[in-house]
């Protein structure tokens, strides 16, 4: 775990789910004061509690001093309305991957955004230019795509839209680096760089499963051992969330019109069944017993 850099800057994070909590944890780790917002204060508080649990694990493994964990956690304030974000230099949106939900959030965030603050979206696939166009000042809007688990993964994709100013791009990149992350600049095209490559691969693994070409375990072992990937594609799909994966592959399909991005029928079935991965205890694996058990 990297050590904190003394800073006094406040940032806002909207969405206290897996990604929002990870962003809040990382920012607090690097000295930022974080306003963690969600629609309901209970959800925001749950996000902070989840961060507390992640930190407790690090403390128990002697990876983080208890006092540092406590100080880190104290820098995170759960909130349910956006007013306390008024002093933030940057607001990062990490809500559900649905465009209408994001538009509503941006409309409200723009009302509390300082004239020199920037608004970033952690969208994994929605065009930045299209979202920017609905904002009062599109030049201060940008994409910042984090990877899960945020405190562990070393990359942030920075995605300027057509109206994003050079200054906003530089400031977002500097913020990303201040979190100890490497930055890649990605074009505002569906999936940006990494998901454009990753998501079709995960979708293809589900086609391979659906075609009966291999078992869940063999497909995962094949990529894990044969390609040296840390997780097999079906384990990773469960980790990302099959609902999120479905949303991204649909965006790729709809925006490019290319049939190679059509969602695998078995992905649709798992989403329809509500078996959307680790966060609900069941996806391609059942996680309820503690040891993942394949569901097919």
- Among all residues, which ones are annotated catalytic? 124, 145, 157, 195
Q: Of the ranges 30-38, 111-119, 150-158, 160-168, which one interacts with ligand 3HC (CB under 6 A)?
A: 150-158
Residues 82, 141, 147, 246: which binds ligand 3HC (CB under 6 A)? 147
The alpha carbon dihedral of 147, 100, 247, 250 has a sign of negative
Does 13 help bind ligand 3HC (rule: CB under 6 A)? Answer: no
Residues between 191 and 220 that touch ligand 3HC (CB under 6 A): 195, 198
The alpha carbon dihedral of 87, 92, 96, 101 has a sign of positive
Angle between helices 265-273 and 242-256 (to 10 degrees): 140
Does 23 help bind ligand 3HC (rule: CB under 6 A)? Answer: no
C-alpha 149/C-alpha 2 separation (Å) is: 15
Q: What is the end-to-end Cα distance of the chain in Å, rounded?
A: 37
Does 20 help bind ligand 3HC (rule: CB under 6 A)? Answer: no
- DSSP bridge partners of 145: 157
C-alpha 289/C-alpha 282 separation (Å) is: 11
| Other C-beta atoms lying within 10 Å of the C-beta of residue 203 | 25
Does 66 help bind ligand 3HC (rule: CB under 6 A)? Answer: no
C-alpha 220/C-alpha 222 separation (Å) is: 5
Does 184 help bind ligand 3HC (rule: CB under 6 A)? Answer: no
Q: Of the ranges 148-156, 159-167, 171-179, 282-290, which one interacts with ligand 3HC (CB under 6 A)?
A: 148-156
If the CB atoms of residues 146 and 275 are measured against ligand 3HC, the closer one turns out to be 146
Nearest distance, CB of residue 203 and ligand 3HC, angstroms: 12
Does 148 help bind ligand 3HC (rule: CB under 6 A)? Answer: yes
Summarize as ranges the residues that interact with ligand 3HC (CB under 6 A).
Answer: 54, 58, 61, 63, 124, 147-149, 151-153, 195, 198, 230-231, 236, 240, 244
């Amino acid at each position: 775990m990297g050590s904190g850099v003394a800073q006094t800057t406040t940032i806002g994070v909207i969405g206290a789910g897996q990604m929002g909590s990870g962003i809040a944890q990382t920012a607090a780790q690097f000295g930022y004061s974080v306003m963690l917002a969600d629609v309901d204060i209970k959800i925001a508080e749950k996000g902070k509690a989840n961060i507390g649990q992640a930190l407790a694990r690090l403390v128990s493994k002697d990876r983080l001093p208890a006092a540092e964990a406590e100080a880190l956690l104290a820098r995170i304030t759960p909130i349910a309305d956006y007013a306390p974000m008024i002093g933030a230099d940057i607001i990062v949106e990490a809500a559900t991957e649905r465009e209408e939900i994001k538009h509503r959030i941006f409309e409200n965030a723009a009302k509390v955004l300082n004239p020199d603050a920037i608004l970033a979206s952690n969208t994994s696939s929605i065009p930045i230019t299209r979202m920017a166009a609905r904002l009062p000042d599109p030049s201060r809007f940008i994409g910042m795509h984090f990877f899960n688990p945020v405190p562990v993964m070393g990359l942030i994709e920075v995605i300027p839209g057509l109206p994003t100013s050079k200054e906003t791009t530089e400031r977002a990149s500097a913020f990303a680096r201040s979190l100890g992350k490497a930055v890649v600049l990605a074009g505002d095209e569906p999936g940006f760089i990494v998901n454009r490559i990753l998501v079709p691969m995960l979708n293809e693994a589900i086609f391979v499963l659906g075609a009966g070409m291999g078992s869940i375990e063999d497909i995962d072992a094949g990529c894990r051992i044969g390609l040296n990937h840390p997780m097999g594609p079906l384990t990773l799909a469960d980790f990302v969330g099959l609902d999120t994966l479905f949303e991204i592959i649909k965006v790729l399909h709809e925006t490019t019109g290319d049939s190679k991005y059509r969602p695998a029928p078995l992905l649709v079935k798992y989403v329809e069944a509500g078996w959307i991965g680790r966060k609900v205890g069941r996806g391609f694996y059942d996680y309820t017993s503690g040891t993942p058990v394949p569901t097919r």
